[in-house]
Chains A and B, each alone.
Chain A
Amino acid sequence: MTAYLVRRCVQAVAVVFGVSIIVFIILHALPGGPARGLLGPEASAFQVHQFIVQNGYNQPLPVQYGRFIGQLAQGNLGYSYHYNQTVASLLSQDLPKSAVLVGLAYLVALIVAIPLGIMQAVRRNSLADYVTTGASFVAYSMPTFWLGILLILGFAIDWRLLPPEAPQGATVAAVLSHPQAMVLPVATLALVSVAAFSRFMRSSAIETLVQDYIRTARAMGVPERIILFRHLLRNSLIPIVTLIGLSLPATISGAVITESVFNYPGMGLLFYSAATSHDFPVLLGSTVVIATATVLGSLLADVLYAVVDPRVRLA
């Protein structure tokens, strides 16, 4: 176990370094460099030159990268030209709000998907199974932004039940103080995950249903309800742990879209506006932070998997 953990951690660190190198290369591939991107096509050659020298963009790439890593090691993620703030302070403001959105969406998705998947497995190949499976296929194939728009059209414009815009505010508390406005963004992000989770839950439960211990329990006359909850549910939940870790990149992608549909003041919106305004330090800093989160997520999922399922041997 310890050897496995150490190896996985070393791999994770290597991956985070790899991400920083890749993002660094991508961002510096822009013709004219970050200066032209930020100052726009109207800036004079002198201004561009001044900006490049000031920020050290004329130095060789490895030197620039070394400086970035050196700063990163001291906890300095860079400085946003656009917002005139440090990237760290921007992220510390917006990251928690995105975490709340993603967390709530996961919670809702699991609450819906787990019973749904179990139901589909127990009544597999029935009409209910076909209908719900068809629905999750459609939900899975739906662009997240279009789903959000449909929900706005229905619940906010036609029926006027919920506000069309996400809650605004600088802090998590401010965002959470408008629970009504959170409903549509959370529902949008959750629905896409429900589709994937319930399919996974279904196949996991079907595999559990044919196990000997279920047959033994049935033969012993254990009530079906207890079989469902004690044996089927608990055992088929194990793979879901991995799924949560693995689905993090897809969910973060969904969050970027959801945040821009509902104007939710989170990290996705920050990243999107940084991409359109060529705010390089923000792009670089937040990608490294997001990638670290997804790497940690899958690492945690692997370790948790071994903890909840003692049968798993880590090699």
Chain B
Amino acid sequence: MTTTIAPEMPGAEPAGGTVQPGGSAWRMILAVFVRNRLAVVGVGIVILVVAFSFLGPVFYHTDQVHTRLALINLPPSHAHPLGTDDVGYDVLGRLMLSGQSSIVVGLSAALLATVVGTLWGAVAGYVGGAVDAVMMRVVDSVLAIPPLILILLLASVFTVSTPVLILVVAIVAWLAPARLVRGEAISLRTREYVQVARGMGGRHGWIVLRHITPNAIVTIVVQATFEVANAILLLAALSYLGLGPAPPATNWGSMLSNGLNYIYEGKWWLIYPAGIAIVLTVVAFNFIGDALRAALEVRLQER
């Protein structure tokens, strides 16, 4: 679940020399992918999962609208490679449809959380003093509520639709970026170029947006990658608990939640495919994040 203590992969240390210092953040990120096998594997899996979910339905036509009671819980066959579920939907087609919403919610929530967290942390770190203390106590307070407890609270209050879901997951996920960016902002605000910008009469809002945030971008991108993985896991947990979006909306967690009713009847095709899809996607984003972080640490050492 959402821990800040993500594991590190030994192979994540960039192979074949270090990343060139002095290059732009984006060139550094590109260099990571050229040199790091795990990152490449991660990106490969993400591309595959995205293609499967969004392009798959173009080639593999299934009816995911009408329930068919004559075709419920069929084992895998030629017509249905992964069988059918408890209302007669083709599981392979369902997996694609669920993938779309899992990815959209995961990416949007991570993006929203990163933008809000970055601005919150940058302002707190840049302004400092009492404003910083109050803003960070807010972060500490939300952080003291375990992620799942917080998301259950929110889901019990709001009627969950896709946009609400993105918001709810983002409310849980914006804290880590806020803390990280605040740390960066505190060190960045004393740098000469920020001092100069301020001396030249640069407005505070301008300095935060043009000088503080861009220079923390590597930290932000690394954290955002982990946030996507976390968001997909949170969404799955919430849907498993039955507090996800209502049908016809679906995601991998909802599929598993349904399949669970048949756990004693040996209907493995309702339990394995969706779970494997979640693990693959989450592992892929964790690989990418880990490789980026390893590269970031190399750059920090060379500073």
Contacts and interface: CB of A to CB of B under 8 A. Distances in A.
B3 A199 contact: no
A290 B263 contact: no
Nearest to A16: B144
B144 A278 contact: no
A257 interface: yes
B271 interface: yes
Interface string B1-40: 1111111111100000000000000000000000000000
Contacts of B4: 246
A249 B157 contact: no
Contacts of B214: none
B237 A142 contact: no
Given A18-B138, A143-B253, A145-B237, A276 B242 contact: yes
A150 B6 CA distance: 23
Nearest to B145: A291
B153 A29 contact: no
B243 A143 contact: no
A212 to B, nearest CB: 20
B263 A253 contact: no
Contacts of A252: 146, 148-149
Interface stretch (B47-55, B57-65, B81-89, B277-285): B277-285
Interface in B267-282: 268, 271, 275, 278-279, 282
A276 B140 contact: no
B243 A287 contact: no
Interface of B is mostly: helix
Given A15-B141, A256-B148, A272-B152, A250 B10 contact: no
Contact of B7 (A30, A153, A199, A294): A199
Interface residues of A, number: 69
Nearest to A197: B5
Contacts of B236: 143, 145-146
B147 interface: yes
A23 B153 contact: yes
A195 to B, nearest CB: 6
A137 B11 CA distance: 12
Interface stretch (A51-59, A124-132, A213-221): A124-132
Contact of B157 (A26, A150, A195): A26
A203 B9 CA distance: 10
B7 A152 contact: no
B156 A140 contact: no
B153 A142 contact: no
A40 to B, nearest CB: 14
Contacts of B149: 252-253, 256, 271, 287, 290
Interface in B232-257: 233, 236-237, 240-243, 253, 256
Interface of B: 1-11, 137-138, 140-149, 152-158, 229, 233, 236-237, 240-243, 253, 256, 260, 263-264, 266, 268, 271, 275, 278-279, 282-283, 286-287
Given A133-B7, A290-B146, 18 more contacts: A22-B145, A23-B153, A137-B286, A138-B283, A140-B7, A141-B279, A143-B237, A144-B1, A149-B275, A157-B263, A200-B7, A250-B1, A253-B149, A257-B148, A275-B155, A287-B149, A291-B144, A291-B145
